[in-house]
Amino acid sequence: MSIALEHIDPNSVDLSHEEIKRYSRHLIMPEVGMKGQKKLKAASVLLIGTGGLGSPLAMYLAAAGVGRIGLVDYDTVDASNLQRQVVHGTSTIGKLKVESAKERILDINPDIRVDTYNDLFTSANAFDIARPYDIIIDGTDNFPTRYLVNDVCVLLKKPNVYGSIFRFEGQASVFWAEHGPCYRCLFPEPPPPGLVPSCAEGGVFGVLPGTIGTIQATEAIKLIIGVGDSLIGRLMLYDALEMTFDTVKLKKNPNCLVCSPNPKITELIDYEQFCGMPMNDHQDEIGSGEGWDISVQELDQKIKVNSGVKNFRLIDVREEHEWEIAHIEGAQLIPLGTLAARMNELDSAQEIVLQCKSGARSGKALELLRGAGFRKIKNLKGGIVAWANQVDPSLPVY
């Protein structure tokens, strides 16, 4: 079933001769034509995130001629982004992501308007940012923002073009409570904190966001010009390794907390508290707190005093392929997934320092050992990233 944004008026804009030439391959398609291209020019789309998904979204929507594009992001371009965030480049490392993306898409299409919001998308600013736009596209990588985007869209009666990626797998759908289910209908509650690793911890196949992001862009354009069957009421699942696409039908939850006839959520809430996790993926200084942390400087001093890793054990809970990238001399590799089975290799009377990439997985390891009765344990705050940045710059940061 074709669903369109009926309020977009193609007669409110005109196409110049230059624009007619630019969009000629659209204009000769009867499904688009002059009317559809004018709708694109009259439309406005807000992108939450200018990273992996936001990169193809921003570039293809600009190239298609969407008249106004809003970019929301709080981050700066880092070298580790460039493997997948193709809207940015080496020349923009250190630059605000919204400005880097704006510069790139205006180079693609200088005839469009680009508004930037260099900030976290939060309950305090979400309504003000989202209200002027016809479509909201979720290109985020954390659960608090996904629930926030959903609730904003439901309360403002706007379509939410959803996408998510992890390692080799991706998902896409269109959540529009006026015509079908919302994100909360599918996921009423977030997963327990720490259960689902972030892309920074688990990785993402570089071309995967290109696939999912262009699908999201396709869905947005279809909504604007009113052609084709929307993903409303369907969740598309993509597996890059198997090169398969599957579709799962979704139903509206009659008891949904936000989009049911009698909703319990009628205003925005504290989404970080609701999900038990932050609205960002910055992993540099994660620790366990409450006296369970050890800093990289303290570990460095401990190693120097003992002339190496003696009188205590340094346990690296990352995966073997990460160990091959970089590891701290004297550490022992026991991946987190095997720690429970190999706990008999550890002596609870001996001091143990746990370490991973950022402190997140070693924090989980610490909780596991605490539950088993270990008390002389510490979590290396910031992990090997902090170690490389502050103690041993000869190690690569990944």
Q: Which residues are marked as active site?
A: 199, 356
Instruction: Dump the DSSP string for 216-249.
Output: HHHHHHHHHHT-S---BTEEEEEETTTTEEEEEE
Query: Whole-angstrom Cα distance, residue 213 to residue 211?
Result: 6
Residue pair 101/54 in contact (Cβ under 8 Å)? The answer is yes
Buried b (16+ CB within 10 A) or exposed e, 103-115: bbbeeebeebebb
Cα–Cα separations (whole angstroms), residue 245 to 175, 183, 237, 279? 19, 20, 6, 29
Residue 114 DSSP code = E
12 C-beta neighbours (distance < 10 Å), count: 11
Query: Whole-angstrom Cα distance, residue 174 to residue 161?
Result: 5
Which residues, other chains included, contact 234 with Cβ-Cβ below 8 Å and sequence gap of 6+? 173, 247, 248, 249, 250
